[in-house]
């Protein structure tokens, strides 16, 4: 376990509905703000579930930690019912996050609520590129995929960070009709292959599989994927949340959640 | 107040034990956990060869418990001795090493290799892992359990604790056989066989189809078995199964357990031992009890 991990009891500053069944909560923690890396997650204790729930850090602003989540099961439902000033027991930050590649174009790919950790990543990418001499030639893009327009979130936040945004929805209610991986295919074709590009993605496993097929033909292209898996302890001791990699089973909570695509596919 | 308890030759500073598979080897959690509240940590089960473990998904949560099917994923005994064991002596707790074998020969190998290690304070023989795809668990057979314990007893003077499955017709009979074979203590219970099905996909949730059930749901069943065994044996019983707070721990101690083991709660709350110990202490104080065995003696059952 990394030295930075701590157990906290925080007071929620806000829990608000962003859209439909998507919620945003925030609390203050200077420790997490100082040490967290994009892709790290926090393990939240909820009174109504036996196990904790791992949720990624969505963004950090002025020591405020934000978590963006979609109500999907018992845990997220209980979390959505939390109110301002409620206490929350948190362990974190946990996991191996995204490694930031400097001096490369960044294509972020978010499938559904998989967009959550990508905003924190975008913040860090912008922070890093501020010190990068090549910045004028480099591009940051976010490709957002969703079932329908109600699932498309965070456009404004990415825009404020100077990202180009492209949207695909399965029902065509916003952006291009189709999958976010169609956007990725097009974007990669548009690039001069001499230019280094890095892909960062978070979303469902089906999306990762499609990405793996697309990026195969670009041998210099590196891709990092943030996986989701139901967890036990989140601390690397119970060995419940493993996924199969080329080097055998690896723990999503400790070896991941971010893996290089080449480790998996 | 004296919280110390003896489990065979092993002296524990308090009766709170972290169960196998829920605490790694202990060392992994040192930055987060206060080990001064933990009497002993039982390691993840070690096998003769390294094991990758079962096909994921390996864990499923119900309203009141957890089904797991990890499959004894572990680095194997040689790598354990080389890479994990050196760090363990630095923690302020006792280390009970859990052993899992697929034959008597493997169990013997494990005991022989680990007996000379002084950081190993005791052995817990895992005769009850439900996730190995075997027709029958060793601790479902009186004869297999008894023969195995007899054989291993000759190889070590260290404390031998035997962990039993609750999935038998008469657990007292098995426990008595293990006692006669030379075990120093019984640890119970391991998880219950279980299954969960996804009605959308019509498939089992777990990659290995079945798993072992733990958590609050199993507490009354586990408590019943601990009470039965503890009152039929001379050797101490480490009791547990679904302990979540100090009240649960007290129930097991009142029922006759010499010490209690915390399992699933450790996954949610790695510092559960601390809260549980302070709750037990406060209760003993209020009831003017001086030692852990006073709890057992006060039970009006």
Asked if residue A174 lies in contact with residue A166, where contact means CB atoms within 8 angstroms, the answer is no
Task: List the structure tokens of A77.
Answer: 């439902």
Residue A79's H or E segment, with its range, is helix A74-80
Residue A99, domain member (yes or no): no
> Are A164 and A51 contained in the same domain?
no
Q: Is the peptide bond before B57 cis (omega within 30 degrees of 0)?
A: yes
How far is B82 from A31, CA to CA, in rounded Å? Answer: 35
Catalytic-residue membership of B129: yes
> Are A88 and A110 contained in the same domain?
no
> Are A132 and A76 contained in the same domain?
no
- Would you state the pLDDT for residue A158? 96
Chain A, nearest residue to B52 by Cα: A249
Residues of A in Cβ contact (< 8 Å) with B52: 248-249
> Are A90 and A146 contained in the same domain?
no
Q: Do A233 and B22 touch (CB under 8 A)?
A: yes
- Would you state the pLDDT for residue A128? 82
Residue A263, domain member (yes or no): no
Residue A29, domain member (yes or no): yes
User: Any idea what the CATH number is for the domain that residue A198 is in?
Assistant: 3.40.50.80
> Are A33 and A119 contained in the same domain?
no
Residues of A in Cβ contact (< 8 Å) with B31: 1, 3, 5
The contacts of residue B233 (CB under 8 Å, 6+ apart) are: B175, B176, B179, B186
The minimal CB distance from A239 to the residues B73, B216, B271 is found for: B73
Residue A51, domain member (yes or no): yes
pLDDT digits over A173-190, tens only? 999 999 999 999 999 888
How far is B40 from B36, CA to CA, in rounded Å? Answer: 10
Identify which of A253, A260, A264 has the alpha carbon closest to the alpha carbon of residue A2.
A253
> Are A117 and A85 contained in the same domain?
no
> Are A185 and A111 contained in the same domain?
yes
How far is B278 from A39, CA to CA, in rounded Å? Answer: 37
- Would you state the pLDDT for residue A1? 56
Whether this model's pTM surpasses 0.90: yes
User: Any idea what the CATH number is for the domain that residue A30 is in?
Assistant: 2.40.30.10
Q: Is the peptide bond before A93 cis (omega within 30 degrees of 0)?
A: yes
Count of CA atoms in the C-beta half-sphere (13 A) of A7:
16
> Are A88 and A113 contained in the same domain?
no
Per-residue model confidence as pLDDT tens for chain B (301 residues): 999 999 999 999 999 999 999 999 988 999 999 999 999 999 999 999 999 999 999 999 999 999 999 999 999 999 999 999 998 888 999 999 999 999 999 999 999 999 999 999 999 999 998 877 777 899 999 999 999 999 999 999 999 999 999 999 999 999 999 999 999 999 999 999 999 999 999 999 999 999 999 999 999 999 999 999 999 999 999 999 999 999 999 999 999 999 999 999 999 999 999 999 999 999 999 999 999 999 999 999 8
How far is A155 from A142, CA to CA, in rounded Å? Answer: 9
- Would you state the pLDDT for residue B228? 98
DSSP string, chain B: -B--EEETTEEESSSEEEPTTSSTTSGGGTTT--GGG-SEEEPPPB-SS-B--PPSP-EEE-SS-EEE-----B--HHHIIIIIHHHHTTSSSEEEEEE--SSHHHHHHHHHHHHT-TT--EEEEE---S-S--SS-GGG-HHHHHHHHHHHHTT--SEEEEE--S-SS-HHHHHHHHHHTT-SEEEE--PEEEE-EETTTTEESBTTBEEEEESGGGHHHHHHHHHHHHTT-SS-EEEESS--SHHHHHHHHHHT-SEEEE-HHHHH-TTHHHHHHHHHHHHHHHTT--BTHHHHHH---
The series of mean pLDDT values per 10 residues for chain A, 265 residues long, is: 85 96 97 97 96 98 97 95 97 96 89 98 87 64 95 95 95 96 92 77 97 89 94 96 97 97 95
Residue A250, domain member (yes or no): no
Residue A145, domain member (yes or no): yes
Asked if residue A49 lies in contact with residue A231, where contact means CB atoms within 8 angstroms, the answer is no
> Are A172 and A87 contained in the same domain?
no
Give the B window 209-238 contacts with A, CB below 8 Å. Answer: 215-216
The active-site residue, picked from B7, B38, B41, B129, is B129
Q: What is the count of structural domains for chain A? A: 2
> Are A177 and A217 contained in the same domain?
yes
Q: Chain A: which residues have CB within 8 Å of chain B?
A: 1, 3, 5-7, 45, 49-52, 74, 91, 229-233, 235-244, 248-249
The minimal CB distance from B61 to the residues A45, A51, A239 is found for: A51
Residue A241, domain member (yes or no): no
CA distance A237 to chain B (A): 4
State the residue range of the domain holding A139. 105-226
Q: Is B207 on the interface with A (CB under 8 A)?
A: no
Residue A187, domain member (yes or no): yes
Q: Which domains does chain B have, with CATH numbers?
A: 5-57+72-192+215-298 (3.20.20.70)
> Are A110 and A191 contained in the same domain?
yes
Final residue of a domain: which of A34, A68, A94? A94
Residues of A in Cβ contact (< 8 Å) with B57: 229-230
> Are A43 and A68 contained in the same domain?
yes
Inter-chain Cβ pairs, chain A and chain B, closer than 8 A: 91
Final residue of a domain: which of A45, A63, A94? A94
The minimal CB distance from A239 to the residues B29, B53, B268 is found for: B53
């Amino acid at each position: 376990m990394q030295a930075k991990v701590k157990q906290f009891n925080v007071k929620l500053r806000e829990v608000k509905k962003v859209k439909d069944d998507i919620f945003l909560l925030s609390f203050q923690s200077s420790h997490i703000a100082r040490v967290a890396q994009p892709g790290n997650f926090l393990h939240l204790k909820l009174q109504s579930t036996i196990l904790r729930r791992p949720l990624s850090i969505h963004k950090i602003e002025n020591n405020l930690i934000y978590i963006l989540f979609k109500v999907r099961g018992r845990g997220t439902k209980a979390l959505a019912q939390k109110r301002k000033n409620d206490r929350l027991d948190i362990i974190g930050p946990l996991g191996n996050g995204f490694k930031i590649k400097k001096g490369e174009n960044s294509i972020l790919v978010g499938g559904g609520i998989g967009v959550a950790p990508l905003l924190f990543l975008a913040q860090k990418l912008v922070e890093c590129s501020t010190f990068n001499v090549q910045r004028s030639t480099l591009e940051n893009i976010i490709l957002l995929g969703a079932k329908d327009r109600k699932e498309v979130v965070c456009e404004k936040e990415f825009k404020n960070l100077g990202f180009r945004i492209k949207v695909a929805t399965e029902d065509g209610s916003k952006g291009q009709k189709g999958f976010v991986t169609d956007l990725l295919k097009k974007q990669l074709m548009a690039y001069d292959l001499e230019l280094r590009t890095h892909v960062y993605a978070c979303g469902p496993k089906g999306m990762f599989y499609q990405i793996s097929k697309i990026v195969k033909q670009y041998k210099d292209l590196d891709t990092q994927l943030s996986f989701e898996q139901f967890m036990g302890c989140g601390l690397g001791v119970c060995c419940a949340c493993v996924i199969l990699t080329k080097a055998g089973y690896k723990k999503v909570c400790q070896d991941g959640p971010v893996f290089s695509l080449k480790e998996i596919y | 107040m004296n919280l110390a308890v003896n489990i065979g030759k092993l002296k524990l500073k308090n009766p709170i034990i972290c169960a196998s598979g829920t605490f790694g080897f202990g060392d992994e959690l040192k930055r987060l956990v206060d080990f001064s509240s933990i009497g002993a940590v039982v390691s993840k089960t070690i096998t003769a060869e390294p094991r990758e473990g079962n096909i994921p998904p390996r864990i499923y949560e119900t309203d009141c418990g957890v089904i797991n099917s990890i499959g004894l994923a572990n680095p194997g005994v040689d790598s354990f001795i080389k890479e994990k064991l050196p760090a363990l002596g630095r923690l302020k707790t006792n280390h009970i090493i859990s052993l899992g074998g697929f034959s008597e020969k493997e169990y013997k190998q494990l005991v022989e290799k680990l007996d000379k290690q002084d950081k190993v304070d005791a052995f817990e023989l895992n005769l009850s892992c439900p996730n190995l795809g075997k027709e029958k668990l060793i601790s479902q057979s009186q004869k297999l359990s008894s023969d195995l314990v007899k054989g291993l007893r000759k190889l070590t003077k260290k404390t031998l604790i035997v962990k039993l499955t609750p999935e038998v017709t008469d657990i007292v009979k098995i426990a008595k056989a293990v006692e006669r074979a030379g075990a120093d203590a019984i640890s119970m219970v391991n998880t219950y066989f279980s299954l969960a099905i996804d009605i959308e996909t019509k498939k089992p949730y777990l990659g290995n189809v079945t798993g072992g059930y733990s958590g609050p749901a199993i507490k009354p069943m586990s408590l019943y078995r601990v009470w039965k065994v503890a009152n039929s044996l001379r050797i101490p019983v480490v009791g547990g199964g679904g302990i979540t707070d100090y009240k649960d721990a007290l129930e097991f101690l009142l029922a006759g357990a010499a010490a209690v083991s915390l399992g699933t709660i450790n996954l949610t709350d790695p510092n559960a031992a601390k809260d549980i110990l302070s709750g037990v202490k406060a209760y003993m104080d209020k009831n003017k009890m001086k030692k852990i065995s006073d709890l057992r003696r006060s039970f009006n059952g």
